[in-house]
Amino acid sequence: MKATFLLFNVMMNTWNRPPPYKLYHSFHLPNLDHREGIRHIHSLERIQSLKHNQDNFLQIVNSSKPIRLGDYTCIGVNCLVMNRPQQLKLYTNVINQNTVLCMDNSGIQEVSLQITIKPAKIGSIIFLNTTIYRAPRWISSVVQPFLSYLLLYKKNPRYLTCKYDQNLTLYRRMILGS
């Protein structure tokens, strides 16, 4: 996958200086309806359905009840990323954007991902703004499955069947209103 190679190359070439590393990329997905894409960027559970997940890339262990803090809707998720305990904090204050903070088990922030989707003349464009605060060795192996999640609709625009988490479903309802 061209995007994976490009992102991996950028990561490797920028790691000769100290963190944080900032990476920006956009993906044009002509098969992705904008409304469907908005739902997709807020559906963390779908990563568990990807073929890469047979290597246990992501397994959701539990999630907190979503809350509102001012204009923001927030949720915490405990999961295993490649069999390592991770804490994820998801939050947004706009419907077409989701921010995911990835922290290690002790609460130290490692990566921040801001995913934004905008309509295009045909399909949608997903913008990925990544900041890597710490450069653990596992980051490079996480790139492929995560990009597969973002590019899910590149070849197959249908929903994946997956088991939805009750609190993440409530999080989506609070954001999307449905």
28 φ/ψ sector (left φ>0, alpha ψ -120 to 50, else beta): beta
Residues 6+ apart with CB under 8 A from 107: 87
Residues 6+ apart with CB under 8 A from 83: 56
Which CATH number covers residue 36?
Answer: 3.30.530.20
- Quick one: which of 152, 130, 153, 116 has its CA closest to 7? 130
Task: Respond yes or no on whether the N-terminal peptide bond of residue 20 is cis (omega within 30° of 0).
Answer: yes
Domain total of the chain: 1
pLDDT of the residue at 125: 93
pLDDT in tens, the chain (178 residues): 454 444 455 555 555 566 677 888 888 888 888 998 898 889 888 777 665 445 567 789 999 999 999 999 999 999 887 777 889 999 999 999 999 998 887 888 888 889 999 999 999 999 989 888 876 555 555 555 555 555 555 554 444 556 788 999 999 999 998 6
pLDDT of the residue at 1: 47
pLDDT of the residue at 38: 92
Q: Cα–Cα distance between 166 and 171 in angstroms, integer? A: 9
Q: For residue 13, give its domain range.
A: 2-155+163-176
What pTM value is reported for the model? 0.76
Beta bridge partners of 125: 28, 118
Beta bridge partners of 69: 72
